Amino acid sequence: MKIIFLIRQLNYAGAERQLVTLAKRLQQRGHSVSVAVFYADGPLESELRQSSVPVHSLDKRGRWDTLGFMWRLFKLVRREQPDILHGYLTVSNIFTALIGTMCPGVQTAWGVRSSNMDLENYDWLMRVSYRVERWFSRFADLIIVNSYAGLDYAAAQGYPSEKMIVIPNGVDTERFRPDREAGRRVRHEWRLTDEQILIGLVGRIDPMKDHATFLEAAALLAREHPALVFACVGRSVEPYKSKLVEISKQLGLDDRLIWSEAREDIPDVYNALDVLVSSSCSEGFSNVVVEAMASGVPCVVTDVGDSKMIVGNCGEVVRPQDAPALKSAIERRLDKRRADHVEDQPSRQRIVDRFSVIELEAKTEAALLSLCKGAA
């Protein structure tokens, strides 16, 4: 089976990390796999090349370079003759559908990785893109959704339910595992003492991650717990990041809050945390929660997407956009952690049993082979 994955850029982010993991595993299983990117030089490209997975840059020259970009993508597909062109995320899915209409012998698969998006938080082009994706969904041959919440949402929006399947994300439990020495190195970098308790939110600076509610909960906790320190780790998106920094200053969190850009050693970051918080107001399947749980870190999540299903009885779940409830849940999880005196082993075992990368690989391979077989 020959597959080309299509994605905007290979930055440090959940969907991008899943694509890299999947491409490498499918290549190891004997399939011919390559990745096409709109924009070159994303930090995850080197990991693919080290695994002998080719990366094709389509050299997109900006937002409005559409026709030229389409022509370069068309030429790539005609030259490589893949069995499947697999888009990841909204804009890639749209271009995948367009190419599918121009190359009838190529099967098209989509990766849909969100649910219940509040589009009012984004610019007009993003809102238009989501509507265009919904219309073009009829042309996809297979739509892989990474959450059950995302499946329900997409079906309600008019995506063809008969073409959709759910394949949850998978995590490499050897890469994401308890390693407190690695965590100490990060804490030392951030100048934290052993007595300080670190509460972290890992994820890109984006309205759907709702950092504002996390900051409000952090301010409530800071007033009562002088040993608590907070961290927000993720790729900045301006001007939203600047607004959040201003909010944190107004809340009096200046000397209690660490801002860190996305980084390669994210497993070490998880191990530096005492509690991982996902305060999202919209989510599909949270990679961050799964990775933190695999690292033995207790999690507090909002009841969006599949987060409640992921943590099961191994974490705290609260309704979104409720800072006092988030604060109380963090306190409960800290109390339990102190009582146990060990890493959160039940959380890790839940991930090993249910959300391993082996499951992701096997289910995706079966779905794509079935797609090829149906075409034949």
- Give residue-wise pLDDT tens across range 173-219: 999 999 999 999 999 999 999 999 999 999 989 898 999 999 999 99
8 Å CB contact between 36 and 60: no
Whether 155 shows a pLDDT value over 70: the answer reads yes
- Give residue-wise pLDDT tens across range 267-276: 999 999 999 9
Q: What is the mean pLDDT of residues 136-161?
A: 92
Q: Which domains does the chain have, with CATH numbers?
A: 2-170+356-375 (3.40.50.2000), 180-354 (3.40.50.2000)
Q: What is the mean pLDDT of residues 13-23?
A: 89
> Any idea which residue has 């509507």 for tokens?
131
Whether 335 shows a pLDDT value over 60: the answer reads yes
Q: For residue 303, count other CB atoms closer than 10 A to its CB.
A: 14
Structure tokens at 236: 């900045």
Sort strands 299-302 and 275-278 into parallel, antiparallel or unpaired: parallel
Looking at residue 120, its pLDDT comes to 64
pTM recorded for the entire structure:
0.84
- Give residue-wise pLDDT tens across range 40-82: 989 999 999 999 999 999 999 888 888 999 999 999 999 999 9
Higher pLDDT, 303 or 345: 303
Looking at residue 117, its pLDDT comes to 61
Q: For residue 353, count other CB atoms closer than 10 A to its CB.
A: 10
Higher pLDDT, 16 or 116: 16
The confidence band for 356, taking pLDDT boundaries of 50, 70 and 90, is: confident
Looking at residue 340, its pLDDT comes to 63
Looking at residue 359, its pLDDT comes to 87
Whether 256 shows a pLDDT value over 60: the answer reads yes
Q: What is the mean pLDDT of residues 279-284?
A: 90
Nearest CA-CA partner of 86 in 371, 373, 288: 371
Which residue(s) pair with 362 in the sheet? none
Q: To 5 degrees, how large is the angle CA 192–CA 194–CA 200?
A: 55
Whether 341 shows a pLDDT value over 70: the answer reads no
